[in-house]
Amino acid sequence: MIKYMRLDSVIFYTKNLDRIILFYKEKVGLEVDYIQEGKFASFKLENGKLGIKQAKEEREIPGHQTVFIEVENIEEVYNQFKVKGINFRKELTKEDWGTNFSFLDPDGNKLQFVSRQQI
């Protein structure tokens, strides 16, 4: 049995790498880690990376991925995105397990932001 695993990165696929880089830099506010022109970009997260790959293979279908991103002050984060004109797929909602909201990137990939309740 593996005792320890840590997520290294998540990869989304895109139809337009230049457009998606601008979205993640300007709208989401992520810092670029690496860009391979016309092929791939990665963005820094506190405990991993979000990669964006230009779709080339048949299985690389933009708009079919979801990533959950945990934040501490979710109401503040939500309001920052609201000011930037983000169109939410799910507005800020309190659930039994915590609070969350989501939106889609330009390719239709879902970013779900969560703040989990402490048990």
Residue-level length of the chain:
119
pTM for the model: 0.88
With a pLDDT cut of 70, the percent of the chain lying above it is 97
Give the CA radius of gyration of the chain. Answer: 15
Note the pLDDT tens digit of each residue in 87-111.
999 999 999 999 999 999 999 999 9
For the chain, the average pLDDT equals 93
In angstroms, the Cα distances linking 51 to 22, 24, 65, 92, 108 are 14, 11, 12, 26, 15
Q: Any idea which architecture 9-116 has in CATH?
A: Roll (3.10)
Residue 65 in contact with residue 100, Cβ under 8 Å? no
Q: For residue 118, what pLDDT is reported? A: 55
Residue 119 has pLDDT above 60, yes or no: no
> What pLDDT shows up at residue 1?
73
Express each pLDDT in 60-73 by its tens digit.
999 999 999 999 89
Amino acid identity at 68: F
| CB-based contact 103:61 (threshold 8 Å) | no
Cα separation of 81 and 17, whole Å?
Answer: 21
- Which residues are CB-neighbours of 69 under 8 A, at least 6 positions away? 45, 111, 112, 113, 114
CA angle 85, 76, 89 (to 5 degrees): 45
User: Strand, coil or helix: what is 82?
Assistant: helix
Residue 7: predicted pLDDT = 78
